[in-house]
Amino acid sequence: MRTLKELLGNDCLGYFTRSDTIEKLMAKINLGHQKLVGIESIKIVNEDRMSLIFNTRKDGLDNKVYNLLDVIMGEPTWEQMMDIKFGVGHKCDMRIVLYDKESGMFDIISNRCTAFNFASLYNSCGVITYLLGAEINSINQPDELGIGYDIDAHPDIESVTPYRKLPSRIDFEEAEFWHRFGDYSYPSQESFTNPAEVGFRPFVVYHVNNVTDVIPVWKEGGFFVKITTNNFQGHQKLLSLLRSKRREIEDHYSKKHIEIQRIPDTPIKIKVKIDDRPFSEFESMSIWEKNECAKSYREIVFEFRDFFESLINGLPEIDQRDKAQINPE
């Protein structure tokens, strides 16, 4: 099958700036009763993506409606779906994302599945969003070039997400990093459908010997990895680890980067600072840089996990009949 870019050639984006094309798209999403007033602005993001803001006016009303048409010659991307709400489309009343159904996957977490979940979440939170897949030789009311459109998401589709308050931009950025960190093929469902107590991003945790947990954290203060537990046996293991292996830990990670967290009646935590880089640097990275960054941190976390696992494996078994106190001196 031919792609839109192959069909339209050098005018692949310009085709969607035509008034008749925009009017057909409006009719497709049942907004044909709105009159196209004009184009407010056109932003060529790159050779494959364009953001166009156009004005319409509802019958009998004087106020203009600001609409965004965001077209991409490929699969919709995470960055694009962020941009239509927090960037180029932040003042718009309605958003249309149009992508090419015949294109291949460009990025591991950027695809129509992710875009559908973005659109569903936006619509649940009152951010009116349509996701349209364009297809050549479509039987779905094609235009003169044979291009038809499938509506993948619209405001009236039953939501797959329980969100009613839109997560913040930083929430989306953190979710993107942890999806790339986990190297998920279709990562979005967990974050978009299960806010629960872990927040918007996926909850990344690695278990060590079924008694302790390794949890990576990246905030403005840097990238950290902590090892903790939620049970008595794990707590005793960590105490024993500090008594007998603390020098090895400090030699491996540098004493100044290690923090021992002791809170009364709470299992102990060992927190190690891996990198000073603030999380805000992630936003300005290219997709390649984001993937490389996530891969690098993932390898560091795996090394951390393996290092502590080897130390814990060398500890004597804990007699669970003991009644040791939490955080004894």
3-state per-residue secondary structure call for the chain: CCCHHHHHHHHCCHHHHCHHHHHHHHHHCCCCCCEEEEEEEEEEEECCEEEEEEEEECCCCCCEEEEEEEEECCCCCHHHHHHHHHCCCCCCCEEEEEEECCCCCCECCECHHHHHHHHHHHHHCCCCEEEEEEEECCCCCCCCCCEEEEEEECCCCCCCCCCCCCCCHHHHHHHHHHHHHHCCCCCHHHHHHCCCCCCCCCCCCEEECCCEEEEEEEECCEEEEEEECCCHHHHHHHHHHHHHHHHHHHHHHCHHHEEEECCCCCCCEEEEEEECCCHHHHCCCCHHHHHHHHHHHHHHHHHHHHHHHHHHHCCCCCCCCCCCCCCCC
Q: Please state, in angstroms and rounded to a whole number, the distance separating the CA atoms of residues 153 and 74.
A: 17
Per-residue model confidence (pLDDT) at position 197: 35
pLDDT interval class at 325 (50, 70, 90): very low
- Identify which has the larger pLDDT, 42 or 196: 42
Q: What is the mean pLDDT of residues 163-182?
A: 85
> How does pLDDT run across 195-213, given as a tens digit for each residue?
443 445 666 788 887 788 9
Per-residue model confidence (pLDDT) at position 104: 67
Per-residue model confidence (pLDDT) at position 110: 65
pLDDT at 180 over 70: yes
pLDDT at 2 over 50: yes
Tokens of 206: 């690695």
Task: Encode burial over 30-63: b for 16+ CB neighbours within 10 A, e otherwise.
Answer: ebeebebeeeeeeeebeebbbbbbbbbeeeeeee
The ranges assigned to domains in the chain are: 4-153, 205-313
> How does pLDDT run across 271-313, given as a tens digit for each residue?
999 999 999 999 899 888 998 999 999 999 999 999 999 999 8
Per-residue model confidence (pLDDT) at position 105: 60
Prediction pTM value: 0.82
pLDDT at 101 over 90: no
- Identify which has the larger pLDDT, 115 or 278: 278
- Identify which has the larger pLDDT, 51 or 58: 51
pLDDT interval class at 321 (50, 70, 90): very low
Q: What is the mean pLDDT of residues 74-97?
A: 94
Per-residue model confidence (pLDDT) at position 318: 59
Query: To the nearest whole percent, how much of the chain has pLDDT over 70?
Result: 84
Q: Are strands 147-153 and 206-208 parallel, antiparallel or unpaired?
A: unpaired
Q: What is the mean pLDDT of residues 72-79?
A: 91
Q: What is the mean pLDDT of residues 6-27?
A: 92
Q: Please state, in angstroms and rounded to a whole number, the distance separating the CA atoms of residues 67 and 29.
A: 13
Per-residue model confidence (pLDDT) at position 264: 82
* Amino acid, res. 243: R
* C-beta of residue 241 within 8 angstroms of C-beta of residue 227: no
Per-residue model confidence (pLDDT) at position 216: 93
* C-beta of residue 188 within 8 angstroms of C-beta of residue 201: no
pLDDT interval class at 109 (50, 70, 90): low
Task: Encode burial over 205-238: b for 16+ CB neighbours within 10 A, e otherwise.
Answer: ebebeebbbbbbebeeeebbbbbbbeebbbbbbb
Which distant-in-sequence residues (6+ apart) come within 8 Å of 39 by Cβ?
17, 52, 53, 54, 55
Q: Looking at mean pLDDT, say which of 30-34, 140-144, 317-321, 325-329 comes out highest.
A: 30-34
Per-residue model confidence (pLDDT) at position 299: 93
Tokens of 94: 């309605």
Which of 147, 156, 128, 204 minimizes the C-alpha distance to 20? 147
Report the half-sphere exposure of 99 (CA within 13 A, side-chain side). 25
* C-beta of residue 130 within 8 angstroms of C-beta of residue 95: yes
pLDDT at 98 over 90: yes
> How does pLDDT run across 123-154, given as a tens digit for each residue?
988 999 999 999 887 666 677 788 889 999 99
Residue with tokens 């560091």: 300
What average pLDDT does the chain have?
A: 85
Which of 280, 275, 271 minimizes the C-alpha distance to 298? 275
Per-residue model confidence (pLDDT) at position 60: 67
Which of 253, 265, 239 minimizes the C-alpha distance to 318? 239
